[in-house]
Amino acid sequence: MATIVLQGDGIAALTCGHLLQSAGFGVSIERAPRAYLPALMVSASSQALFRDVLELRDAFSSLPRIQKRVVKWGPQPEPVALPHSAVIASEQFLLEMVAKLFRANASSPEAADWTIISSRPLPESVIEHGFGSQVATVTLVELEKGSDSTACWIESLEDGWLFLMPDAPGSGWLISVGGPLNAHLNNSRMIAGQIRGLGDGTREFPSYPRITWPLCGPHWLACGTAALAFDPLCGDGTGHAIREAILASAVVRAAARGTNVNALRAHYQARLVAGFKRHLAVCLEFYQSGGVGPWWDSIVESLNKGLRWCDHQLSNAGEFRYRLRGLELEEIRATNSR
């Protein structure tokens, strides 16, 4: 049976390792020390993936739950409350939960049949394409007394947006994208009223969509954040990571069965680009309605550039030749019509 090396230890890599080890492959790991995100909102659909694919039935039962989101977006004068279903978890909590599912081997990377690349460095031939330049700032905040710990808030501003999610009664995490955090709070008409004070220290990270190209090569597949990075505005990055891992592990298993490797790699790239395109399209809807002015126009222009890039790549890919049935890839048989 083939041996696999995981480069990185994020959700995508660990999920891929678990799925492949469960299928009988030898799996080793090259860990990549890094700072973890302090809080992630895990949607109901992502929770279902943890439950159904990773068989983690009660993993989220003790975590803070979000039951509604309060939105002030674009020109609407008053906030709108909408039902929502999510939990708040730290990235470290999610990683430790998935890491318990398998035990990595101590095999040598030089002996690997496949490398799943989920962290830097990338192969020298790979180029990262970014569509935007916006930076996010995240900071711990103290919430006002009486603030609803089951609600999250999102608000658009002249040159960016704010997102507030509680992680316990009286505390939460604030994400500011675009302009300076303090300026955003000064201009906020909704979220600023939920915050009593800011905690010590902030972290910054690029928040614009990014994709590496190519996404795979001889004996390697990029997966997780080494393949795609998503705008936090749309959420569900955890779910995307698990879906990428399912596809990557299915490609490796199909190759071990003797399926044409070049065709499998082409399918993998096309599927990831199609998923990235859907993300860009959703982002475009949000940013087109979020505000007017140079900042919003620049984001819309970058997203349209990304959509054109995806269309170009997909136009060269042809029709999908495989589909997932459960955790396995099967060839799509052409049917002759009479």
91-125 pLDDT, tens digit each: 999 999 999 998 877 555 566 899 999 999 999 99
Just give the CATH number of 135-206. 3.30.70
pLDDT at 131: 98
Mean pLDDT for all residues in the chain: 92
**pLDDT value at 335 more than 90:** no
- Give the confidence band of 49 by pLDDT, cuts at 50, 70, 90: very high
Helix (H) or strand (E) holding 220, with range, is strand 220-222
Measured in degrees and rounded to the nearest 5, phi and psi for residue 104 equal -70, 145
- Give the confidence band of 148 by pLDDT, cuts at 50, 70, 90: very high
- Give the confidence band of 235 by pLDDT, cuts at 50, 70, 90: confident
**pLDDT value at 294 more than 90:** yes
pLDDT at 278: 96
pLDDT at 333: 77
- Pairing relationship of beta strands 228-229 and 210-213 according to DSSP bridges: antiparallel
pLDDT at 108: 54
pLDDT at 159: 96
Give me the DSSP letters along 86-135. EEEE-HHHHHHHHHTT---B---GGG-SEEEE-SSPPPTT-EEEES---E
pLDDT at 336: 41
pLDDT above 70 covers a percentage of the chain that reads 96
Mean pLDDT across 218-231: 95
Q: How far apart are CA 322 and CA 127, in angstroms?
A: 26
pLDDT at 296: 97
Burial of 247 (0-12, 13-18, 19+ CB in 10 A): buried
Reported pTM: 0.94
Q: How far apart are CA 25 and CA 39, in angstroms?
A: 32
pLDDT at 36: 86
pLDDT at 104: 75
pLDDT at 127: 96
pLDDT at 110: 61
- Give the confidence band of 69 by pLDDT, cuts at 50, 70, 90: very high
How many CB atoms are located within 10 Å of the residue 50 CB? 22
**pLDDT value at 168 more than 90:** no
pLDDT at 275: 96
**pLDDT value at 226 more than 90:** yes
Q: Which CATH architecture has domain 3-38+90-132+209-330?
A: 3-Layer(bba) Sandwich (3.50)
How does pLDDT run across 172-204, given as a tens digit for each residue?
Answer: 999 999 999 999 999 999 999 999 999 988 899
pLDDT above 90 covers a percentage of the chain that reads 82
Domain ranges (residues) in the chain: 3-38+90-132+209-330, 135-206
